[in-house]
Structure formats: C-alpha cells, structure tokens
Amino acid sequence: MEIKTTAIEGCFEIIPKVFEDERGYFFESFNQAKFEKTTGATPFFVQDNQSFSTKGVLRGLHFQKGEHAQAKLVRVLEGEVLDVAVDIRPGSKTYGAVVRTILSSENKKQLFIPRGCAHGFVTLSATAVFFYKCDNFYNKASEGGILYNDPAFTIDWILDTSELIISAKDLALPTIKKFAAG
C-alpha cells in the first residue's frame, strides 16, 4: 500500500498493492497500523456508507460540523468518479486548498479526507457505487455544505454543467464566504 500526501494537510491518497492472477485479484483495502505509521492519523471508523449514482450525478460539497465532524476514507467499488476535497478549516495552513482525484473500480485508489474538509464527487461512468468509512456518526443537525461551483475554489468537475445532475438541496448550499459569515 502506497500512501501519498496531497495539497491538503492530513488528506492522503491511498494506492493499494493489487495481486492479480487467473482467479482475479486481491488487495488490502485498509490496514490501521500501516495507515497510522505512514500518516500519523488515528481514525477509528464507526460507520460505513454506500451510494449508487448515474453519470453526471454530483453530490457535494458536504461535511459535518462541530463535535459531529467526520474524517472519511472514500473509494469506488464500481465505475469511476472525480472525487473532490476542499480544506475549509479556519486557521489551517492549507485552507482553501482543493484536491481532485479520479477514483475507480479499476485503479482501486482511496482518498482519506480529514475532519473539517468539505467533500463531493461527480460520477463519470454510466453508473458508480461509492463507498466510504466515517470516524464519527452522522448527525442531521450538524450537516453542512458549500456550493459545488463556488468561485473561491474554481473546481473543474470535468463534465459540462449541462451534464450535471444536482439535488435542489445541494444547489441551495452557500458559498464559503456566506458560510463563514455565519
């Protein structure tokens, strides 16, 4: 397993070592001891989530606030997505930094997103099954989000805007400036 740093402090790309033969493949998707040794992060995952999306579905940019903040370890079981993390931690030396990476069932990469970062993805393939582990339980009252096309971040979502399928709830999210103003 190879773990790479990203433009966001505490955010890591995880590339597994895949063993393939005539039967198929095997890889270790997570190893707590190796992860802690390499990153210094010590998440204790308490909840797994999974979603199914069709091409163009954009989910995000979401996060949990306060005591219910969540670190996430995300990956794609089927299909391909553009995964995005944005550092929105006040006072962070990487505040405003954006990480974009392709996660797919082919490359088997994962992204570890620390607490205090907004997260989203857009489905690039016909369909995708997205899976993630969280180190804190979901709490509806602590939901937060930033508008996917906030000009403060200039995120290239790869697909044309006309191809995007975004929920009304996500389209109503504030910009980071409005969110920070309270």
Question: Which residues form the catalytic set?
Answer: 62, 132
In a domain, 11, yes or no: no
Q: Please give the residue range of the domain that contains residue 109.
A: 44-181
How many structural domains does the chain have? 1
pTM for the full predicted model: 0.95
In a domain, 18, yes or no: no
Quick one: pLDDT at residue 177?
A: 93
In a domain, 7, yes or no: no
Domain harbouring 77, CATH code:
2.60.120.10
Q: Is the Cβ–Cβ distance between 7 and 101 less than 8 Å?
A: no
The residue among 80, 82, 62, 59 whose CA lies nearest residue 72 is 62
Q: CA torsion, points 42, 48, 52, 57, in degrees to nearest 10? A: -40
Quick one: pLDDT at residue 1?
A: 84
> How does pLDDT run across 108-124, given as a tens digit for each residue?
999 999 999 999 999 99
In a domain, 6, yes or no: no
Separation of alpha carbons 160 and 166, rounded Å? 13
In a domain, 16, yes or no: no
- Joined together, the tokens standing for residue 5 give 């740093």
